Amino acid sequence: MAEQKQFNVEVSKTGISCKWEEGEGGHITGWACIITGPEGQKFRPIYIKKKHGNSDCIKHALIPLKHHSFIVCASHYKQNFTINIYRITEINSEEGFAVGSLVHVYSEGEWFPEQPTGNLLKAVEAAKNKATCCHCNTPFYIVK
């Protein structure tokens, strides 16, 4: 599973490379992106977007991104999930991107090559919950 994906990266005011925990969803369709540490642990966000009025936002928490962090991407159609988990292998703050290698895939009810464990599995559950959250406006997997 050598597939790679490029992700947008933002740089904080203090020069830290970051990625947004983001997503939106409902009962029919939805998606979410969760960022974890190298062991699947939660990070303390640099910034949390506050809900303004009745409008919901897609970006919820700006999370520091480090080499070997994981990005958990979940999407669903009528609760049938596809989940891709990437491990960050390169961060290029100057160009505004990071590269992740695909390490786990969940599709059609099966994990390939194997199901993640520990904190990473908790991050998967958070991504699934975020992807099904109607009018989502808060982060789901952060240190508070």
pLDDT digit of tens for each residue in the chain (144 aa)?
579 999 999 999 999 999 999 998 888 999 999 999 999 999 999 999 876 554 557 899 999 999 999 999 999 999 999 999 999 999 999 999 999 999 999 999 999 999 999 999 999 999 999 999 988 888 999 998
**Cα 138 versus chain centre, distance:** 13
Q: Are 113 and 15 in contact (CB under 8 A)?
A: no
Give CA–CA dist 5/29, Å, rounded: 22
**Is 111 a domain residue?**
yes
**Is 73 a domain residue?**
yes
Per the structure, the complete domain to which residue 90 belongs is given by: 4-131
Q: What pTM was computed for the model?
A: 0.93
Q: Considering its fold, how many domains does the chain have in total?
A: 1
**Is 109 a domain residue?**
yes
Q: Radius of gyration over alpha carbons of the chain, in Å?
A: 14
**Is 143 a domain residue?**
no
